[in-house]
């Protein structure tokens, strides 16, 4: 996890195209300026960042299902529940599954757990569109390589 660059997930541990599911790992850093403010003397991983981690895991699932030809953009978060605190240094398991594949949008359900126990979950809607430019596509390909996205799933023109 690199909070400064909004990299909320570290590694894809499972990607099942048939089942339309993904699992990723995300190591919450022990130190971050974010924890100096949230909260002084009682550092907690902000809920909005946990939601972002679920969105990023879901996003990689959608990119895989769309054969790396389109990009998901966060559109709505529903039923987001923060069940237990997440603290610095914890290793998160983030899972997501496709709930609905619409025309120009998709809906996932995602969950964060630690040691098998749920910490938060949400239903997330994404708009999906063509990559707006080559820079973003290139960045996403580089990111894909970094997090262990199966390289054979990346379509090339």
Partner 1 sequence: MSSTFDRVATIIAETCDIPRDTITPESHAIDDLGIDSLDFLDIAFAIDKAFGIKLPLEKWTQEVNDGKATTEQYFVLKNLSARIDELVAAKGA
Which spans of this chain sit near partner 1 (rule: CB under 8 A)? 75-76, 100-105, 107, 125, 127
Residue number, 102 or 150, with CB nearest to partner 1: 102
Closest distance between partner 1 and the C-beta of residue 130, in Å? 11
Q: What is the DSSP string of 81-130?
A: EE-S---TTPEEEEEEEEEEE-SSEEEEEEEEEETTEEEEEEEEEEEEEE
Q: Is 38 one of the catalytic residues?
A: yes
Q: Is 58 exposed, middle or buried (0-12, 13-18, 19+ CB in 10 A)?
A: buried
Q: Between the CA atoms of 67, 2, 88 and 123, what dihedral angle is there, to the nearest 10 degrees? A: -30
C-alpha–C-alpha distance, residues 22 and 24, integer Å: 7
Give me 61's structure tokens.
């699932």
Residue number, 89 or 102, with CB nearest to partner 1: 102
Closest distance between partner 1 and the C-beta of residue 75, in Å? 6
Closest distance between partner 1 and the C-beta of residue 123, in Å? 10
Closest distance between partner 1 and the C-beta of residue 54, in Å? 18
Catalytic residue among 7, 38, 100, 139: 38
End-to-end CA distance of the chain: 31
Residue number, 17 or 129, with CB nearest to partner 1: 129
Residue number, 83 or 100, with CB nearest to partner 1: 100
The SS3 call for residue 12 is: strand
Task: Return the active site residues.
Answer: 38
């Amino acid at each position: 996890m690199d909070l400064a660059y909004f990299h909320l997930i570290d590694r894809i541990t499972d990607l099942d195209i048939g089942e339309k599911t993904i699992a990723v790992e995300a190591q919450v850093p022990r130190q971050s300026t974010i924890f100096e403010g949230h909260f002084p003397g009682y550092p907690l991983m902000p809920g909005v960042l946990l939601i972002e981690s679920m969105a990023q895991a879901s996003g990689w699932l959608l990119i895989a299902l769309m054969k790396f030809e389109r990009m998901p953009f966060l559109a709505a978060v529903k039923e987001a529940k923060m069940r237990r605190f997440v603290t610095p240094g914890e290793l998160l398991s983030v899972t997501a599954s496709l709930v609905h594949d619409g025309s120009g949008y998709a809906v996932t359900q995602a969950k964060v757990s630690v040691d098998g126990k749920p910490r938060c979950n949400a239903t997330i809607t994404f708009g999906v569109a063509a990559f707006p430019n080559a820079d973003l596509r290139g960045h996403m390909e580089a990111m894909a390589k970094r997090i262990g996205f199966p390289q054979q799933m990346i379509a090339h023109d």
